[in-house]
Amino acid sequence: MRFKCLISILCLTVVANLSGAAQPNIVFVLCDDLGYGDVQILNPEHGKIPTPSIDRLGREGMIFTDAHSGSSVCTPTRYGLLTGRYSWRTSLQRGVVQGFEPCLIAPERPTVASFLKAQGYHTAMVGKWHLNFLYLDPETQKPIQRKGRHTLAPVGSTIPDGPVDRGFDYYHGFHHAGDMKGVIENDTVIAHEDEIHMLPRLTQKAVEYIDARAQDDDGQPFFLYVPYGSPHTPIVPTEAWKGKSGLGDYADFVMQTDAGFGEILAALDRNGLTDNTLVVFSSDNGCSKAANIPALAQQGHQVSAEFRGSKADLWEGGHRVPFIVRWPEVVQAGSRSDQLLCLTDFFASCADILDTKLPSDGAEDSVSFLPALKGEPIVSTREGVIHHSISGHFGYRMGKWKLLLARGSGGWTSPKEDQAKRSRAPVAQLYDLANDPGETTNLYESQPEVVQRLLAQLEADVSHGRSTEGSTAKNDVKQIQLWKSGR
C-alpha cells in the first residue's frame, strides 16, 4: 500500500514538473512615452536614435505594425494592460491619476498578475505603477493627504492597495513621475533619491529578479512586468549617456532605456532562459511634446514615423505603439504581423498560451493574439478597437476604417478642439488607413454609411460593458459621454 502511494506521489510530481516546463516565463517591458518612430527597426528611414537592443528583439521575434495602447496617455493604458478592460469603463473618464487615492483597480477585479499567480506563476513588477494607491502614515496608520504636485510620502509609509495587493508577489518601483523620488519595495516606501537613479535602479532590480528565479531550481515559471518610467519626463540620462545620441537629452534617454532592456535580455541569455521565455516589448502611448519633437524633426528624426500626432492625441501617433514579441519556441524570427491588436489583449493571450479559460468576471475587452504569433489569423468576437485621448475623446477602429469623435487631435497637437471648431471643421473624422495612414483626408462627410456602421458598433461596445462575447458586464459609471465636443 505504501509502495502504491509512493508511486502515485512520484507520478503526480512528474506530471506537475512536465506542466511547469510547458509554461513559458513571461517578461513584459513597457516603456513610457516612447514613440513608434523612436525604435529604429520600425522607422529605418527617419529613425535616427540607435536602439540596438529593441532592434535585436525585432530580428529575433515578431514585429506588430498595427498595435495600439488602450489610451494615448499613461494611467488608462496601464489599467487596460493589467485588467484586459478599457479604463474609461471606470470612474477615470479622462486624464491620469495623481496618487494618494484608492487604487483604480478594484480589489475584486482579476489582473494578469493574479491570474498567472493562480496558474502557478511567481509574479513580479519592477517599475512605474501609476494606478493610484494610498500611503499610510508610519506612525498613525492613517492615509496621508496629497499636498502638492510633488508630495512625497515619508520613508516607512505603507501601502494597503498597491501591486502586491493586486496579484504581484514582489514589487519594486515608484508611483508616477511626480513622485519618482519615492522608492517603494513591496508595500513600503524604503527611500528617497534623485530621479536620475531610477532607470538604472529598475534595470538592476529586473536583472536581479531574473537571476534569482534562475537560481531557484523549483521549476516555477515567472511573470516579470517591467514598466519603465523612461523616456518620460523628467528626462534625465545619466552622465555616461549624455551626448551619446548627438540629438539631445531625449534621444540620449531613449538610448539608455534601450541599453537597460538589453541588460534584461542578457540576463535571460546568461541564465539559459531565452528559449522558453515570452518577451514582449511595447510603450504606453506615443512620444510626448516634452521630447522637443520639432527639434528632433529638424535633425531628421520622426518620433511617430509616418503617422500623425503624438502622445495624448486620437491620431495614430498618440496610440500606435511599438509591439515586438519574441518566443523562440513558437514565434518565427524576423517575422511581421499587420493584424490589429490592443494592449488590453495581453490578458486573453496569456490565458490562451496556458490553454486556460479567462476569469468570467474580467478581461472584458481582451482578445488573444496567440494565433498571430503562430502566423495565423486572430479569431475574435470583438468587432474593433476603441481609442481614447487624454481629454476623453473616443475613436473606433474597424478594419481599414477609423472614426474619431473629435474635430481635431483630441489631445495636445494642433488643431485642438477649440481651434478646429473655430475653423468650422466637421464634428468628426473618418480615415481610410489602408490608403491614408497619415490621416490627411477626412472622409466623414463623404462616407456616411461607414460612419454609421462604426458609430453603432462603438455605442454597442460601450453600453454592453464589454467588447467581446461573454458574461454580462457593466461599466462602473452609469453614463459615458461619447461626444466630448458636442455634435
Determine contact, residues 80/287, Cβ cutoff 8 Å: no
Q: Where are the domains of the chain?
A: 23-373, 385-463
Q: Which residue has the cell 479622462?
A: 94
Q: Note the CATH architecture for domain 23-373.
A: 3-Layer(aba) Sandwich (3.40)
pLDDT tens-digit map of 134-151:
999 999 999 999 988 788
pLDDT tens-digit map of 304-334:
999 999 999 999 999 999 999 999 999 999 9
pLDDT tens-digit map of 381-407:
999 999 999 999 999 999 999 999 999
C-beta atoms surrounding 117 within 10 Å = 16
pLDDT tens-digit map of 78-131:
999 999 999 999 999 999 999 999 999 999 999 999 999 999 999 999 999 999
Determine contact, residues 172/205, Cβ cutoff 8 Å: yes
CA separation for the pair 283, 286 (Å, rounded):
7
CA separation for the pair 101, 146 (Å, rounded):
9
Non-local (6+) Cβ contacts of 474 within 8 A are 465
Residue 67 in this model has a pLDDT that exceeds 90: yes
Q: What is the pLDDT of residue 280?
A: 98
Answer whether CATH 3.30.1120.10 is correct for domain 385-463.
yes
Q: What is the pLDDT of residue 159?
A: 98
Dihedral of CA atoms 150, 155, 157, 161 in degrees, nearest 10, equals 70
Cell numbers that stand for 329 in this block: 519556441
Cell numbers that stand for 224 in this block: 516579470
pTM of the model: 0.94
Q: What is the mean pLDDT of residues 39-59?
A: 98
Residue 11 in this model has a pLDDT that exceeds 60: no
DSSP annotation of 396: E
Type of residue found at 190: I
Q: What is the mean pLDDT of the chain?
A: 94
CA separation for the pair 128, 229 (Å, rounded):
6
Q: What is the mean pLDDT of residues 434-462?
A: 98
Asked, colleague to colleague, whether 23-373 and 385-463 share their fold, the answer is no
Cis, bond preceding 359 (omega within 30 deg of 0): no
**Strand partners for 68:** 320, 342
CA separation for the pair 105, 85 (Å, rounded):
10
Q: What is the mean pLDDT of residues 240-255?
A: 98
Residue 426 in this model has a pLDDT that exceeds 70: yes
Residue 73 in this model has a pLDDT that exceeds 50: yes
CA separation for the pair 400, 433 (Å, rounded):
5
